[in-house]
Amino acid sequence: MICERMEKAFLEQINKELFSEYLYLSMKAYFANLNLNGFVNWMDVQVQEERAHAMGMFDYVLERGGKVELEAINKPQTSWNGPLDVFKAVLAHEQFITSSINALMDVAEETKDRAAMIFLNWYLKEQVEEEANVGNVLAQLELIGDDKNALFALDKELSTRTFVAPVIG
């Protein structure tokens, strides 16, 4: 059985993961309006990943005998000053999520919920990968600068990213 404090912390994180999905969906729409279909694809994969992350926690709370109560999701930002600005925002958001999952792990440690600690290890590892992935695209965008040909080449590269459903836990 999951304790009330741990359950509450998971519910807050589920909301953050669902907001992440919503934020990346907004970014996907932004890139669609710019006709950068590779960037659209990259964000679509992010949308699917964030939903999977939220649902992994959702299912975990239920599996531990907890009760899931969903809260409202905040409205995400809808406009940026170009692809570089978007990916700076993505990196900042992923760093925020990493910090939030670390805080969730702190609750698990404080409540001595070893099952939650084991479960959350996957998320911590995933965040390292997320930040590195975003950092790679951000570094390329910084190198590209105002070179439209390089931007279109990156757009083509990003169109090859595919979603692979994660095995969480």
Rounded to an integer, what is the distance from CA 94 to the centroid of its chain? Answer: 6
Rounded Cα distance, 136 and 130, in Å: 10
What is the chain's length?
A: 169
Q: Which pLDDT belongs to residue 169? A: 78
Question: Which residues, including other chains, have CB under 8 Å from residue 87's CB and lie 6 or more apart?
Answer: 134, 137, 138, 141
Domains of the chain: 4-70+80-158 (1.20.1260.10)
DSSP 106-118: HHHHHTT-HHHHH
Low-confidence ranges of the chain (pLDDT < 70): none
Longest dimension (CA), the chain: 56
At 1, list the tokens: 């059985």
Q: Which pLDDT belongs to residue 38? A: 98
Q: Is the pTM of this model over 0.85?
A: yes
Q: Which pLDDT belongs to residue 147? A: 98
At 25, list the tokens: 């969906």
Q: Which pLDDT belongs to residue 74? A: 97
How far, in Å, are 38, 44, 145 from residue 159 at the CA level?
4, 10, 20
